[in-house]
Structure formats: structure tokens, C-alpha cells
Amino acid sequence: MLGPSGGYTLSARFLKSFDHIVAIDKDPLAGWRFWARHSLRNLEWHTSDFSRIEWLFGFTKKVQPSHILFSNCLGQMPLQMPVSWSDWKAELQEFIHAVSSTCEVASYHDRLSLSGPSLKALLEKPWDQLIYQSDQKLLEATQKLLRTGQQLEARTHETDDLFESLDGHFTYLVWPLTPKQYHIIEFFRSADV
Ligand SMILES: C[S@@+](CC[C@H](N)C(=O)[O-])C[C@H]1O[C@@H](n2cnc3c(N)ncnc32)[C@H](O)[C@@H]1O
């Protein structure tokens, strides 16, 4: 599990469904926060930076996971890259493709940020009922919003093609940060190996 922080978006039921969890987060306080929220016996914590893909390959080889979850961390990676995002993304895609032959890969991450004065009024349904089952449906819904003529801004988090080489399933949910700013979260789960 990569970037779980305090595990605020992870349910106890989900976490307890695994025999053993290896978590990596570079924040030195994240482990304490996670432990305070989920006192799990099956947890092994590593305070490390996974952005060095070579390191990630080596660590994965050692741990041999059956599942890998990027826990809401990939949307922030473009902001912290010492090298260019496109170079790093290509390395990450190579990693994801390589591990997916032996391991189920999943991620949830920021895909789009929408901001504008009256988002709630523009949505076709209340935000918690909006679920898009494909990238195309998300695109159509976003374009419809942008065509309303309101002063809206849609910003990409550049996570759109991270999992393109894998078979799997995408789902999109809306997460209102404030009444004027909504995030679209992309969920991806690869097909069973
Ligand atoms: C938005 S938080 C994740 C929230 C979390 N999934 C939850 O349920 O509460 C992103 C986390 O990813 C971690 N992170 C970001 N980049 C990282 C990196 N390169 N190596 C390790 N951890 C990283 C951050 O320290 C942070 O704790």
C-alpha cells in the first residue's frame, strides 16, 4: 500500500481482509496517525520515498505482493518530481505494467479539479449520486458542465493514462472539497491475474 497516510479513506473492513499489509509512506508522522486510527496486527510500516522507481522495483521483488494499492497519492506526484513528470510517468507505467503480470494493481487518485461559483446547481444529480463508469462518460459530463457558459475551470492532475496498458475497470466519483471546488477521483482496479 503506497501513500496511505493516516488511512482516513480506508475502512477497517477493507484493511482486515488482507493477511498482511506492507505500507510505504514518506511522511514520518503518517505511521503514527495510521496506527492511531487502525490498530492492525497485520501491518508492516516503512517510512520511505517510493518515487525512485528502481527502489520500488527492488522493494516489490523482496515483498512479492499479491496486490498493490496506490492510496490517493499519484495525483500529487507531478508536483514533487525532481525530473520531468513525463519521464517519471513513463518509468511508473513500466513498473505498473511489469508487476501487473503477477499482482493485482489498484489506485484511486485525483483526476480532475473543477472550480466555479455554483457547481452544486449545475450538477445533474447530487454529487454523492454521480458515478461515471468510464473515462468517456466523465469527459462527456465535464464537457456538458463547461458548455453551460458559467465561469468554470477544469484542471487535470495528469493522471489520465497511467494505467492504459492494463486490462481493468475505471470508476469516477465526485468529491466536493468546498462548495466551489470539486475533485473527480479516478478509481482503477486491474483484472484478476
Ligand atoms: C493524500 S495523502 C493519502 C491519503 C490516504 N490515502 C488516506 O486514506 O488518508 C498522500 C500520501 O502520500 C504520501 N506520499 C506522497 N508522495 C510520496 C512518495 N514519493 N513516497 C512515499 N509517500 C508519498 C504522502 O506522504 C501522503 O501521506
Question: pLDDT, tens digit, for every residue of 76-96?
Answer: 888 887 678 899 999 999 999
Q: How far apart are CA 59 and CA 11, in angstroms?
A: 25
- What is the whole-number distance in angstroms between the Cα of residue 188 and the centre of ligand 1? 17
pLDDT score for 91? 94
pLDDT score for 82? 66
Q: How far apart are CA 76 and CA 158, in angstroms?
A: 9
Percent share of the chain, pLDDT over 70: 99
How far is it between the farthest Cα atoms of the chain? 53
Average the pLDDT over 153-175 and give the result: 90
pLDDT score for 193? 65
pLDDT score for 27? 97
Q: How many structural domains is the chain composed of?
A: 1
Q: Is residue 168 part of a domain?
A: yes
Report the sign of the C-alpha dihedral through residues 168, 171, 172, 175, in that order: negative
Q: Is residue 14 part of a domain?
A: no
pLDDT score for 93? 96
Q: Is residue 60 part of a domain?
A: yes
- What is the whole-number distance in angstroms between the Cα of residue 147 and the centre of ligand 1? 34
Q: Domain range for residue 181?
A: 49-190
Average the pLDDT over 144-148 and give the result: 79
How large is the C-alpha radius of gyration of the chain? Answer: 18
Q: Which amino acid is at 193?
A: V
- Sheet strands (E) in the chain: 21-24, 43-46, 67-71, 104-115, 131-132, 153-156, 168-178, 181-190
Q: Is residue 162 part of a domain?
A: yes
Q: Is residue 76 part of a domain?
A: yes
Q: Are 154 and 146 in contact (CB under 8 A)?
A: yes
Q: Is residue 176 part of a domain?
A: yes
Q: Is residue 26 part of a domain?
A: no
pLDDT score for 143? 80
Q: Is residue 10 part of a domain?
A: no
Residues framing ligand 1 (Cβ under 6 A): 3-10, 24-27, 30, 49-51, 71-73, 76
Judge whether residue 120 has pLDDT over 90. no
Q: How far apart are CA 55 and CA 59, in angstroms?
A: 6
- In this predicted model, which residue has the larger pLDDT, 95 or 126? 95
The structure's pTM equals 0.91
Pocket residue to mutate for ligand 1, from 24, 26, 157, most atoms within 8 A of Cβ: 26
